[in-house]
């Protein structure tokens, strides 16, 4: 293998796969990146690929390929080398014993590698039909739900987001829950994504990688599809494949409150600031903040036997009976942060029922937070 490539292109491709490479020593080869140089017309392409056996990513960067070939090398070390190089063309050559020589300007490195034959076979998914969706729309769906996915590995079917097609509204819904809170968002993506007849669960890591792709400057559209227990996403020369979570997502609709005796419209920013201030003196374990509603007033308070107490009042449009309810402040703050709304509608049934938070300008976004004992 022998090629020349722009430093910016190489750094971009290597940076994209850093969070994929397996850092644990269960299978050392997974800490490597697979480099494959191929001729294409007068010039060529350098494919950079990585996998942890659950998620795989392959990206193609334009390069001047003198000799095609394949080799693997430490993804971390190669990235660190390239990142520090001057902004000039990088020349890479692989030897017969899988060593890489990297030259740029007057700098030269020799990096030990491994044969490409030792690298696991990357999954190839032949989805009959990929649907093109707008990247900003899908990115927003991820942003507004991923925070509520469970990090508890014992609850495997909650370690991701559930994606399903709603036949009644012809929209796609993304849902996440950790048992204490729930978030969903509905969006019209133009057409039905293949494989969503019964819904799929996308794991957190795959979703995080997908979000990184969507944050790239040239991310305007992506192609997506699912088949069996696998999913595929394509975006301008980058292909992300993932193994879906096998299992049944809980019947989340049962925990969404249907009725609400109390409905408040609150300015999101003042509410967020008040929650953060009062939460400073909440207990570390529960982050509990009490909300007390009286006519015209919402009082937020917290108490910590080792530190003290805090309270703050907000004016509200409320004329009902007094109500007290407590929540984990972090759960409320997380929901407010991702919604990005100026105003939110807070709906309550009673002190023992979950609360609903919906942006006043987007009825297709919802957060549900379970109450705590006050």
CATH of the domain at 320: 3.10.150.10
Does residue 219 carry a pLDDT above 80? no
- One domain, residues 109 and 141: no
- One domain, residues 42 and 148: no
C-alpha 349/C-alpha 255 separation (Å) is 13
C-alpha 224/C-alpha 239 separation (Å) is 10
C-alpha 131/C-alpha 224 separation (Å) is 5
Q: Which of 230, 252, 274 is the last residue of a domain?
A: 252
- One domain, residues 266 and 331: yes
Number of Cβ within 10 Å of residue 137's Cβ equals: 15
Name 77's Cβ contacts closer than 8 Å, sequence gap at least 6: 111
C-alpha 320/C-alpha 303 separation (Å) is 26
The answer to whether 123 and 83 have CB atoms below 8 angstroms apart is no
Does residue 278 carry a pLDDT above 90? yes
Furthest C-alpha separation in the chain: 80
Section 147-176 average pLDDT: 92
Does residue 27 carry a pLDDT above 90? no
- According to DSSP, residue 125 is labeled -
Residue 354 maps to a domain: yes
- One domain, residues 138 and 248: yes
Does residue 240 carry a pLDDT above 70? yes
C-alpha 46/C-alpha 7 separation (Å) is 12
Q: What angle do CA 229, 115, 232 make, to 5 degrees?
A: 20
Band of residue 323 on the pLDDT scale cut at 50, 70, 90: very high
Residue 81 maps to a domain: yes
Residue 144 maps to a domain: yes
Residue 374 maps to a domain: no
Residue 102 maps to a domain: yes
At residue 256, the pLDDT reads 92
The predicted model scores a pTM of 0.89
Name 234's Cβ contacts closer than 8 Å, sequence gap at least 6: 130, 222, 223, 224, 240
Q: How far is CA 350 from the centre of its chain?
A: 33
Name 80's Cβ contacts closer than 8 Å, sequence gap at least 6: none
Band of residue 282 on the pLDDT scale cut at 50, 70, 90: very high
Q: Which of 118, 150, 174 is the last residue of a domain?
A: 118
Name 19's Cβ contacts closer than 8 Å, sequence gap at least 6: 208, 209, 212
Domain assignment of residue 195, given as a range = 131-252
Residue 173 maps to a domain: yes
Beta strands in 117-228 (DSSP E): 131-134, 160-166, 171-177, 181-187, 200-203, 221-227
Residue 126 maps to a domain: no
Give me the chain's average pLDDT, please.
Answer: 92
- One domain, residues 89 and 155: no
- One domain, residues 35 and 77: yes
C-alpha 311/C-alpha 169 separation (Å) is 43
Instruction: Provide the number of structural domains found in the chain.
Output: 3
Does residue 18 carry a pLDDT above 70? yes
- One domain, residues 340 and 357: yes
The three-class DSSP label of residue 169 is coil
- One domain, residues 260 and 295: yes
- One domain, residues 139 and 246: yes
- One domain, residues 163 and 104: no
- One domain, residues 169 and 281: no
Lowest-confidence region among 75-84, 115-124, 125-134, 155-164 = 125-134
At residue 258, the pLDDT reads 85
Residue 320 maps to a domain: yes
């Amino acid at each position: 293998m022998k090629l020349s490539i722009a430093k910016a292109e190489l750094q971009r491709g290597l940076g994209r796969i850093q969070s994929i490479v397996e850092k644990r020593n269960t299978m050392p080869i997974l800490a490597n990146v697979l480099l494959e140089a191929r001729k294409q017309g007068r010039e060529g392409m350098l494919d950079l690929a990585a996998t942890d056996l659950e998620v795989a990513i392959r990206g193609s960067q334009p390069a001047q390929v003198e000799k095609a070939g394949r080799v693997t090398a430490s993804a971390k070390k190669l990235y660190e080398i390239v990142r520090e190089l001057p902004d000039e063309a990088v020349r890479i050559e692989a030897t017969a014993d899988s060593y890489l020589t990297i030259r740029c300007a007057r700098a030269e490195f020799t990096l030990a590698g491994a044969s490409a034959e030792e690298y696991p076979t990357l999954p190839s998914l032949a989805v009959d039909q990929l649907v093109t969706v707008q990247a900003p729309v899908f990115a927003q769906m991820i942003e507004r739900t991923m925070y509520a996915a469970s990090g508890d590995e014992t609850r495997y079917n909650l370690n991701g987001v559930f994606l399903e097609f709603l036949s009644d509204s012809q929209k796609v819904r993304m849902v996440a829950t950790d048992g204490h809170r729930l978030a969903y968002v509905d969006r019209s993506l133009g057409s039905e994504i293949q494989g969503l007849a019964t819904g799929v669960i996308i794991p957190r890591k795959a979703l995080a990688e997908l979000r990184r792709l969507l944050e790239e400057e040239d991310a305007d559209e992506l192609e997506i599809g699912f088949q069996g227990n696998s999913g595929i996403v394509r975006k301008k020369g980058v292909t992300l494949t993932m193994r879906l979570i096998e299992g049944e997502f809980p019947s989340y609709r049962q925990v969404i409150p249907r009725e609400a005796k109390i409905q408040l419209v609150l300015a999101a920013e003042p509410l967020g600031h008040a929650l953060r201030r009062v939460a400073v003196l909440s207990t570390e374990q529960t982050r509990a903040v009490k909300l007390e509603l009286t006519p015209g007033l919402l009082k937020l308070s917290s108490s910590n036997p080792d530190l003290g107490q805090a309270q703050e009042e907000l004016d509200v449009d409320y004329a009902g009976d007094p109500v007290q309810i407590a929540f984990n402040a972090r759960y409320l703050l997380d929901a407010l942060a991702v919604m990005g709304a100026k105003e939110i509608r807070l709906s309550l049934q009673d002190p023992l029922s979950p609360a609903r938070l919906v942006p006043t300008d987007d009825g297709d976004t919802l957060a549900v937070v379970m109450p705590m004992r006050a």
